[in-house]
Amino acid sequence: MTKDIALLILRLAGFGLAFAHGWQKVSMLSSGNGGGFLAGVEALGFPMPLAFAWIAALTEFVGGLCIALGIGTRIAASFAAFTMFVAAFFRHRLFQHILVWLGTLTPPEDVVESWGNPERAATYMLIFVALIFLGGGKFSLDRFVKRGD
């Protein structure tokens, strides 16, 4: 029972992803104001940056909702974890931040600031990786679709 409560608490991180990040990106892209986000996706070197921006935004929004509700938890968490991996390691340069924290890399302060903070994306990524392995738990809608998780 406590494991299932813990899984529910972890899954609620999906609401944070959906509303704090996904909804904002979906709104920006649908209104034509997603220039900054789109430029960021393009800077990462993705082909068809508009398509990949929409994929990331929808993964965060729809995937976050699915995770929170426990619908297709493992699949949604897989897509969300991958999206957060890209955000943490490529957009926010988590590996380089670790090297800075260890003192083995010393770029100018403005360069480090331009990378942004990878903590949130890395935290979401780890939560979603745990959900990939554990599933949604007893208090998920997955239980109504398929018994036994």
Retrieve residue 105's tokens.
């890399």
Cβ burial, residue 62 (10 Å; 0-12/13-18/19+): middle
How much is the mean pLDDT over the chain? 92
Retrieve residue 145's tokens.
């679709």
- On whether the CB atoms of residues 39 and 53 are closer than 8 A, the answer is no
Q: Could you give the CA distance from residue 40 to residue 34 in angstroms, rounded to a whole number?
A: 10
Retrieve residue 124's tokens.
């979401």
pLDDT, tens digit (0-9, with 9 covering 90-100), for 23-74? 999 999 999 988 889 999 999 999 999 999 999 999 999 999 999 999 999 9
Model confidence at 1, pLDDT cuts 50, 70, 90, reads confident
How many beta carbons lie within 10 A of that of residue 129, not counting itself?
A: 17
Weakest-pLDDT range from 14-23, 83-92, 95-104: 14-23
Cβ neighbours of residue 138 closer than 8 Å, sequence gap 6 or more: 1, 4, 7, 149
Stretch 12-27: mean pLDDT: 90
**Domain coordinates in residue numbering, the chain:** 2-88+117-145
Predicted structure pTM score: 0.88
